[in-house]
């Protein structure tokens, strides 16, 4: 954790839950469970079709912000099936997850991700850029893939915007698998990411970027991965759908823990 920056926990609901009734009660229960914590930044990112309803529940919350799981970079036009930044802005969405491996698997490439990221920052929102290797090789070749994802994702981003950039390191093999890297591996990756950012920008600007870990985070491994991994928080998938588990993960990163 860096000094002066609050830990960040993002709940990525993915394509869950099944109905708006369940989604609103989940949001209500999370809101009640976390109470008025002011030392962790918390974001929930429901499917976009639920944004209006979840916004109605969270709109007076100073504790939980809203995010979406992807976006289109254009404001409006002939883009069938897409949703734009101004459309979600109306619902106080402040965070946009970009380049998640499940979207990359559908064909989203680094250029598209960079367009979305640039548009997100231009709108004054925070971009959560997901990066991560599909598998690790003994020789460490996967590191050059990670570096490419970071550099390509941040093309054209000026250093003054970096406080609105979050990098989520999510090894694809750890997502939804119950497997995680060791805390030491995560720590090394954090240093590697910081080094790339420092090469791209001045070090004191590079340090404004929050680095999260994501992939099978739960209430049992959160504290160890947070402290040992020296990350600034987590991007949580499956566990963010369970109120108590999500709450416990949040509690495990509190500075007062």
**Chosen residue from 13, 72, 237, 246 binding ligand PGA by CB under 6 A:** 237
Minimum CB separation from ligand PGA for residue 23, in Å? 17
- 235 makes contact with ligand PGA (CB under 6 A): yes
Which residues in 118-147 contact ligand PGA (CB under 6 A)? Answer: none
State how far the Cα of 185 lies from the Cα of 169, in Å rounded to an integer: 11
Enumerate residues 167-186 that contact ligand PGA by CB under 6 A: 170, 175-176
- x/- map, 5-44, ligand PGA, by CB under 6 A: -------x--------------------------------
Which of 236, 243, 250, 253 is in the footprint of ligand PGA by CB under 6 A? Answer: 236
List, by residue number, the catalytic residues: 100, 170
| Structure token digits, residue 78 | 């002939």
Instruction: Say which residue the tokens 């990411």 belong to.
Output: 193
Based on CB atoms, which residue is closest to ligand PGA, 175 or 206? 175
Residue 218 CB, nearest approach to ligand PGA (Å): 8
DSSP β-bridge partners for residue 233? 8
Residue of 226, 238, 245, 250 that binds ligand PGA (CB under 6 A):
238
Binding stretches for ligand PGA (CB under 6 A): 12, 170, 175-176, 214-217, 235-239
């Amino acid at each position: 954790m860096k000094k002066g920056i609050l830990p960040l926990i993002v709940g990525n609901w993915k394509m869950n839950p099944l109905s708006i009734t369940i989604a609103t009660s989940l949001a209500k229960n999370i809101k009640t469970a976390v109470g008025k914590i002011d030392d962790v930044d918390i974001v929930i990112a429901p499917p976009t079709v639920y944004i209006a309803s979840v916004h109605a529940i969270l709109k007076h919350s100073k504790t939980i912000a809203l995010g979406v799981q992807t976006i289109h970079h254009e404001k409006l036009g002939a883009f069938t099936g897409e949703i734009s930044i101004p459309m979600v802005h109306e619902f106080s969405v402040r965070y946009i997850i970009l380049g998640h491996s499940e979207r990359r698997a559908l064909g989203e490439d680094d250029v598209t991700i960079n367009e979305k990221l640039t548009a997100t920052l231009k709108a004054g929102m925070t971009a959560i850029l997901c990066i991560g290797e599909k598998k690790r090789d003994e020789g460490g070749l996967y590191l050059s893939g990670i570096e490419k994802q970071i550099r390509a994702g941040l093309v054209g981003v000026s250093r003054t915007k970096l406080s609105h950039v979050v990098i989520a390191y999510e090894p694809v093999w750890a997502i939804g698998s119950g497997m995680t890297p060791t805390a030491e591996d995560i720590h090394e990756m954090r240093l590697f990411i910081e080094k790339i950012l420092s090469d791209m920008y001045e070090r004191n600007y590079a340090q404004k970027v929050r680095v999260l870990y994501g992939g099978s985070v739960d209430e049992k491994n959160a504290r160890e991965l947070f402290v040992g991994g020296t990350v600034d928080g987590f991007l949580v998938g499956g566990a963010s759908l369970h109120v108590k588990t999500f709450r416990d993960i949040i509690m495990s990163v509190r500075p007062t823990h």
